[in-house]
Structure 1
Amino acid sequence: MMLRAALLSVLFCSVNNYVIQDFLEKTEESSGNSIDDDDFSVSTLLEKANQNAGKVPGDPLVLYGDIAVPSGLQNADPCTQRGCLWPKASDGNVYVPYRIGSEFSRRERNTIVQGLRSFALSTCIRFTPLNRQQDFVDIRSLSGCFSFVGRRGRNQTVSLSRQGCVFHQIIQHELLHALGFDHEQTRSDRDQHVRILLQNVIRGMEFNFRIIQTNNLNTPYDYNSVMHYSRFAFTRNNQPTIIPIPDTNVAIGRATEMSPTDILRVNRLYRCRRRGMEG
């Protein structure tokens, strides 16, 4: 009996040690440096959903991952200096009319509305249901997740495909494009903060990593921005395409919602006043 108990004790300890070791290994692997950790990053969700973006007749031209551009243009440069901001009302708030397509389910519609309303919690942006306004955001389920940058006029499309785009972080990401923001890893000073490994990028997708002369609004580079792509964005060989510097182990592109710096930029770009952010 004692021998049996001893054997059972040894077996239990062995199994327990195996479980603990397995847990520690998985914890170590999930430090943010594994491609599996990016399954639900903004860039991975966009890449999966946007395989056919812009290829369906009637869709706008889609470049740089998820930015819609008018036909005939070959880039989507920042437009905020050319007057593409949404206008501010006399009460200090910025009212952006929207319409949600009837193709969305009730659950999907609720998720989208929650994403729209999230801006009012920390900025002076107020997404409001369309009421005969001329310029508005037209939220549709087209061939992927994409948006124009800034106010384009008339009914401008923000596509949130039902197949892979109706997530809180994606909704905020595309709406930030509509408000005038580009991707974090394309900002003018990005080479001081990340290294782009083009040799690991899918052939023909290198343009997703171009630098543009952004207005950084005197804010620091933000690895936690909901506008930042992940370490393995557009990888062709499961090797990193974006490496943070000088600390290569910093997690990037893992945001599930707007970061404090994202919020700060919205408030600075639209000159939100504290009074305008109340209510």
Structure 2
Amino acid sequence: MKTKNVVNWLRIGVLAIVLSFTSCQKNENFEETPEAVNDQNQFIEKYFLNERVLVKKQDDGTYSLQGTDVRLFEDQLTNLAIPVANTEAPNTKISAKLGLGGTVRKWTNNTVVYVVEGLSQSVRNELQKSMDEWSSKTNVRFKKRTNESNYVTISSNGDSCNCGVATLGMNGSRGFIRLGSATTAVVLIHEIGHTLGYIHEQNRSDRDNHVIIKYENIQDGAADQFYKSNSAILVTKDFDINSTMMYGSYTFSKNRQPTITDLNGNVLPRRQAAISALDIKGTNKVYPSDDGGTPTTNPCKGIAEWVKGKRYSVGDKVTYRGSLYERDFTRWNRIAECKNTPTNTDICNGVTEYSGNKNYASGDKVTYNGYLYTLGTNGYWSSNGRCGS
């Protein structure tokens, strides 16, 4: 079954710098295993961010999105379309089971916490180079895990290739990046982009104004990866051919002819081990600077009140009913109360992480994805703010 709308992460204000790396390309020295080409019968139809997509369940329980290097968890997919609007008022209440179907979460405090397992020294060197590329040009930071509950595990996939796969966004302790033994920074920078919550540039609704998709050259079964999301709401104004998230000209080619060209029929620039100017601009919008204010200042100072009907993007902040909120990929997160914040306090100190196997009573507090929640008498969890505030 063909899917006409690949991903609508942009619908909810997701950054329009989207990344992809693929196999055996004439002008690119990295690989991606095109699973979608081999057996379409193994793919099932789901909804991701209100868009119908094809996914394949992997042995580890994750789902490959359209056969690409993006891996999703079951709770990021739904069986029915669930509209996600970016104009609704902040709502901190979540049902009795913490977790939101179809969600993508950005990293709290602009910090990707990571664990490295089983990588060769050469790949570790490429990993450091890739992290430095993101952290030196954007507000994103990287930290080796000590006891954090949200982190990504970076490990080998057992293949001798310049390739990788990654889960999308922050996923508690489940997130991963898996790399081949020959993986370079060209691929790693891209996979970090997926970890930050970004998907692929060629799926933008305005892509036909900038590139030509050569369907006659695409491998059988891989055309789904080149469909666009017609209802996408864009954050970065311009389509970015140079984005680290962009498909290359020979991605999934069946005949050594280009699958993507510019409007003049020319192949796209060769991928570099670098993020583009728009990658930088978009990332700093999704992960805005924390302005360097001291903990004693009012966190709501200078932040405008939420406006009904206004469209908001990932990273935007508003005040609403006495609290500060920040827009995530799929929802508003309550950051803090609009009052002076005591120095050196953390509202999550001493509070345990949420467990789906435990029964909770009204008044219980838990941490979940970097935020503190309290269970109300109505069976809904209410956010009390971000850990560290």
Fold-level similarity (TM above 0.5): yes
Segments of 4+ moved more than 6 angstroms:
48-52
Letter in 2 for 1:265: G
Give 3-state SS (helix, strand or coil) of 1:157's partner.
Answer: strand
Letter in 1 for 2:73: P
In the alignment, what sits opposite 2:32?
Answer: 46
Q: How does 1:61-72 map to 2 (within 5 A)?
A: 61-64=63-66, 65-71=68-74
Which of the two has greater strand per residue?
2
Distance across 1 between alignment mates of 2:281 and 2:292: 16
User: Which digits, 9 at most, give the CA deviation of each residue in 1:129-179, with x for residues without a partner?
Assistant: 0111011111111265111221222230111121x4x21111110011111
Gaps of at least 5 residues in structure 2 are 1-23, 39-55, 87-102, 294-389
Change (3 A) 1:83 1:49: closer
Which of the two has greater helix per residue?
1
Q: Does 1:206 align with 2:223?
A: yes
Q: Alpha-carbon deviation of 1:74?
A: 8.2
In the alignment, what sits opposite 2:165?
Answer: 146
* Equivalent of residue 197 in structure 2, options 168, 175, 180: 180
* Equivalent of residue 158 in structure 1, options 173, 177, 186: 177
Q: How does 1:83-98 map to 2 (within 5 A)?
A: 84-88=105-109, 94-98=110-114
Q: Does 1:195 align with 2:212?
A: yes
User: Which digits, 9 at most, give the CA deviation of each residue in 1:181-220, with x for residues without a partner?
Assistant: 1111111211111121222111111121121354532331
Gaps of at least 5 residues in structure 1 are 1-34, 89-93
- 8 Å Cα contact 2:112-2:151 kept in structure 1: yes
- 8 Å Cα contact 2:242-2:276 kept in structure 1: yes
Give 3-state SS (helix, strand or coil) of 1:127's partner.
Answer: strand
Query: RMSD value over aligned CA atoms?
Result: 3.2
Distance across 1 between alignment mates of 2:286 and 2:164: 24
Q: Alpha-carbon deviation of 1:128?
A: 0.5
Q: Which has the larger radius of gyration?
A: 1
Change (3 A) 1:36 1:266: closer
Distance across 2 between alignment mates of 1:139 and 1:172: 13
- 8 Å Cα contact 2:200-2:247 kept in structure 1: yes
Q: Does 1:222 align with 2:240?
A: yes
Q: Alpha-carbon deviation of 1:104?
A: 1.2
Change (3 A) 1:51 1:74: farther
Give 3-state SS (helix, strand or coil) of 2:32's partner.
Answer: helix
Q: Alpha-carbon deviation of 1:60?
A: 2.7
Give 3-state SS (helix, strand or coil) of 2:135's partner.
Answer: helix
Q: Does 1:124 align with 2:139?
A: yes
User: TM-score, normalised on structure 1?
Assistant: 0.70
Give 3-state SS (helix, strand or coil) of 1:256's partner.
Answer: coil
Q: Alpha-carbon deviation of 1:110?
A: 2.0
User: TM-score, normalised on structure 2?
Assistant: 0.52
In the alignment, what sits opposite 1:57?
Answer: 59
Letter in 2 for 1:218: T
Distance across 1 between alignment mates of 2:178 and 2:64: 11
Letter in 1 for 2:27: D
Letter in 1 for 2:31: L
* Equivalent of residue 243 in structure 1, options 257, 261, 286: 261
Q: Alpha-carbon deviation of 1:254?
A: 2.4
For this pair of structures, how many residues does the alignment match?
227
Change (3 A) 1:167 1:51: farther
Letter in 2 for 1:148: T
